[in-house]
Structure 1
Amino acid sequence: MADINVQSPILIVGFFALLIIFACRVISNVFFHPLSAVPGPTVGAASDLWLVWRTFTLRKCETLHECLSTYGSVARVAPNKIVVSSQADIKTIYGIGSKCLKSQFYEAWAFGGAPSIFATIDPKDHSMRRSIASRTFAKKSIMQFMPDLTRHAQTLAKRLEALSKQGSESNSTAIDFIQYSRYLALDMLGSSVLDEDFGLLRNGIEHPFVHDLDAAALKLTMSATLHPWLWAVLKRLPIPRWKHLLGGDARLAEYATKTVEHTFHERDQGKDTGITLVSSYAKYEDANGARLSTGHIVGEIASVYFAGTDTTSATMGFTVYQIAMRQDVQSKLRAELVEKAGVDGRIAYDTLENDCPYLNAVISECLRLYTAAPSHLERVVPPGGITLSTGHYLPAGTIVGVQVYSLHRDPAVFPDPELFDPDRWLRASPEMRQALSPWGFGSRICLGMHLAHIQLQLALAVLVGNFHVTLPEGFDHEKMRMKNFWLVFPIGRKAEIAVKKLEEGGKGVTVCA
């Protein structure tokens, strides 16, 4: 009893001491911080906890957009974080030659401990990695794989037709298009970038790493967002299911290791491994003739597994949802595709790219509303600070970023910004085209943007060109509300549609190289 009586006052004093320290820090952050003159919510200026809470309630983008709508194009959303929605500041923060480097947020995005082009902060390291990868991801290189890419698109059409017939027989017509978009993305990645034949659409079954993609997305975002001490506690929780989830990124690294080792073996046997990404890294030699280690390349390949699938499939899910709701858009798109396909129903990719303005308008509008990673891309202000277009001076060490979500919803550039309106892109102003930034900015712009755009074009062509797309009976639109946890997704985790093969005599569309 004596020990308890002695310890109780100590605990109470300790608690109040921590409370006083926290209160003093809050007061200092709000009133005396170098960023105190930047407008923003007081609760955000007081502590990082507010923004962390908004992130984990899946409302970060909307919250930051509300701040920018309330306080102007620059808002302070955490003690040392500034979010911006001005096009005028993109060059200062992200432009080639900018000394604003990535924040520590990105360091967590390593697979199996191996860093990647996305995670690396050092500009020289990034430049070396990008120079290698750009050979594979260049539009000209991707076009060499067009026969395989169009074949996968046609396989998607066959799979959807089979599913629609099964649905008619069982009175169950709901198809989760996000699932099949993910299969399509992985099959296309395999053929064009990874030198792998996954056969997911052909076989109609998913590879085990499909679930590891979800696990990695959750784990990596959590570890990048939470305070290190909290993450150190959480990752040690002895819960079997939790421990398995935390291993998702390591399992992706294991799959990547097999791919890399296979390519290394073929290289050592003197076989030509082509221009796939693994091959580009396997062939690389620095000025001294040194080659990259297996571990170095594994990080790159694992990140491609991750970044090249969930991003495109989520955007595709939202796209087909809009197409299913908007029969006017669907009819107009189908009419364009059928006209360009001609009497034989065949349409070359070059036609989709250069002679189908409405198809590309639909894609632009979906990328505007449903950018896969729409929140601000954090950068650290360099020594000497920077001055924004608004006149706000940001001292060295400030974390700043432009939020694409807000750029895409600027009513001065996009009237009625929440309306899905592909026609706006048929009369697009220079300001609209400049504001559309789904792939990021500057030297860090998404390497896979050409492949992703091709996937969207081919998938929409075979879907709308061959099927009438509707929503299942009794569809719950609430399930398609967009949420964001670094990447966007519908709150229901699915994008269910019903497809019906166009009637006999109607022109189907076959995409070809």
Structure 2
Amino acid sequence: MLLRYGSPVRAGTNHLIFSDLQSWTDIYGPSSNPCLKDPTVYEGFSVLGNPNLLSTTDRVIHGRLRRLLSHSFSLRGLADSEPLIAEKVQQYVDRTVAGNRGKEVDMLSRTYELYLDIVSWLSFGRSFDCLKGQNLTARRDISHYFSVVPLVAFVPIARYVPLRGIQEGLAGLNRLIEFASVNVDAFLEKSNYRSSSSSSGNIVDKTDSSSQEGTLLNNLAKAVDPDTGSKLTREDLIEHSILFLAAGSGTTSATLTFLLWECGRNEKIRGQLVQEIREAFPDPEVMPNYERASQLVYLKCAISETLRLWGPLNASGPRLSPGKMISGRFVPKGVLVETCTYTTARDPGVFPNPLTFDPSRWESPTPEMKKMSRPFSYGPRNCIGQHLAEMALTLTVCRLYQLYDVIPTPAMDTDFMRQEDNGVLEPKNKTFYVTPYEADRKR
């Protein structure tokens, strides 16, 4: 990754990458003359061809979808889902750590499976149950979303190319579509919802079911746009359920992995973090709750520092300049522009010793720190799943450190853990070995 602070980097003849504070506002902030998404970049990210939060470049359609989805991803909307998340976290701890005390265990795959299980449960009302050994291809199938979906959208003939990678990707994508379709249909029938005779018609709420209360699918199916009175269609629900799986599993898994690595290899940082968690939750028989856990100061600092230094995405996505001033220079209409989150989060003028993992820097963050570290992007197109990611991550870290000391093996050095960009920045070796020990409660 090229780090250059101040002046933009020219990534191509028609593409500028910025790394300064003002570019965040100029490119992504609310504006009467906004930098819109480029259709040639985004519109391919649709499984069924329906516009979704990621793919749509139309401001009106995006506004409607955002209004319909926003409550489900708010802390209030997620409150009823906490028991579902906590149950999966406990299952993850039991299957990954509890039976491997004092032994080396690879946590990366299981961590990915945890968040696949959580997001699939919330999205469909039914989990993949990867942690139980079911749907073993789910992780690989999800990985094809960001490669195969845009490929066949922009080059339709590609689906007929007899290359193994393409055909395996299409098979995986079809498994996701089938899983999503079957479970969305089952949910709608069970919940006594029905669609209009048109495949693009709104879902009409006949009765209010509590059978899936607390799941995203239930909240999304009941959501009504206050401006138009419209609801999400069956196809909308399938489209967004698959999108949430792709966007919400690998990103959270990578973040937890790097947090455990950094805290695990620094005894002082780990000691301060586990002490805070175990004092807040002294009874190992009682699962930490998010209301209390989210108020733990040093835990919040550790998560913020992990997202700054090891954020799972290296950029906030390209936009098209409408022809306006960006960071003090005029950028002609049609030029692709973006702010590189990887670079802004390492600006030495804002973050002293920027490559050092130091959670304490967030105990009294400056306004510039908050504005330059934006792992969930910024503006009306920022990540709608931020609260879900924070809840799942917080509960997992709390439960792990409440019960165990998790120490990376010596092989997990800086080179081994170097990030590789596969749509999500994750450890290049695709493994993360640790040795868990029973918590020392005399600490």
TM range (shorter): 0.7 to 0.9
Aligned to 2:137: 208
Deviation at 1:308, TM superposition (A): 1.2
Match of 1:86 in 2: 20
CA drift at 1:420: 0.8
Conservation of the 8 A alpha-carbon contact between 2:120 and 2:245: no
Contact 1:175–1:498, Cα closer than 8 Å, also in 2: yes
Change (3 A) 1:164 1:249: same
Change (3 A) 1:338 1:113: same
C-alpha distance in 1 between matches for 2:270 and 2:228: 56
Offset, 1:151: 2.5
Counterpart of 1:95, as a letter, is G
Separation in 2, partners of 1:218, 1:192: 24
Instruction: Please give the residue correspondences for 1:175-186 in structure 2 after superposition, counting only pairs within 5 Å.
Output: 175-186=105-116
Q: Tell me if the contact between 1:183 and 1:200 (Cα under 8 Å) persists in the aligned partners.
A: yes
Q: Secondary structure at the match of 2:338?
A: strand
CA–CA distance in 2 between the matches of 1:118 and 1:417?
A: 31
Q: SS at the partner of 1:427?
A: coil
Deviation larger for 178-187 or 239-248: 239-248
Residue 175 of structure 2, aligned match among 226, 235, 251: 251
Query: 1:154 & 1:447 partners in 2: Cα distance?
Result: 26
Map 1:80-479 → 2, pairs under 5 A: 80-97=14-31, 98-103=33-38, 104-165=40-101, 173-201=103-131, 203-220=132-149, 236-268=160-192, 270=207, 272=209, 273-274=212-213, 276-283=215-222, 292-342=232-282, 346=286, 347-354=288-295, 356-382=296-322, 385-390=323-328, 392-475=329-412, 477-479=414-416
State the Cα deviation string for residues 90-142 of structure 1 (Å, max 9, x = none). Answer: 22211123521111211121124343211111011111111111121111111
Distance 1:431 1:196, change over 3 A: same
What percent identity do the matched residue pairs reach? 25
In the alignment, is the contact (CA less than 8 A) between 1:324 and 1:330 conserved in 2? yes
Shift, 1:416, TM fit: 0.9
- For the 8 Å contact 1:373–1:486, the answer to whether it is kept is yes
Return 186-195 or 444-453, whichever deviates more. 186-195
Question: CA separation in 1, counterparts of 2:228 and 2:282?
Answer: 56
Q: What is the TM-score with the length of structure 2 in the denominator?
A: 0.87
Please give the per-residue CA displacement for 1:156-175, whole angstroms capped at 9, x wherever unaligned: 2222334415xx5xxxx332
Counterpart of 1:373 in 2: which secondary structure?
A: coil
Structure 1 residues 185 and 278: CA distance shift in structure 2, 3 A: same
What amino acid is the match of 2:67? S
Distance 1:223 1:376 in 2: 24
What's the TM-score, normalizing by structure 1?
A: 0.76
Aligned residues: 424
| Of 107-116 and 404-413, the range deviating more from structure 2 | 107-116
SS in 2 for 1:145: helix
Asked if structure 2 preserves the Cα contact closer than 8 Å seen for 1:114 and 1:298, the reply is no
1:402 Cα deviation from its structure 2 partner: 0.9
1:15-54 map, 5 Å:
none
Alpha carbons of structure 1 residues 491 and 129: separation in structure 2 relative to 1, 3 Å: same
1:7-55 Cα deviation digits (max 9, x unpaired)? xxxxxxxxxxxxxxxxxxxxxxxxxxxxxxxxxxxxxxxxxxxxxxxxx
Q: 1:288 to 1:458 in 2, by over 3 A?
A: closer
> Tell me, what secondary structure is at the counterpart of 1:401?
strand
**Alpha carbon RMSD of aligned pairs, Å?**
2.7
What amino acid is the match of 1:387?
M
For residue 116 of structure 2, what is the amino acid of its counterpart? L
Tell me the distance in 2 between the aligned counterparts of 1:208 and 1:328: 39
Residue 449 of structure 1, CA deviation: 0.4
1:176–1:497 contact (8 Å) kept in structure 2 = yes
- Alignment of 1:481 onto 2:421: no
CA contact (8 A) 2:401 2:439 kept: no
Structure 1 residue 489 displacement after superposition: 1.3
- Once the two structures are TM-superposed, the CA of residue 335 in structure 1 deviates from its matched residue by 1.0
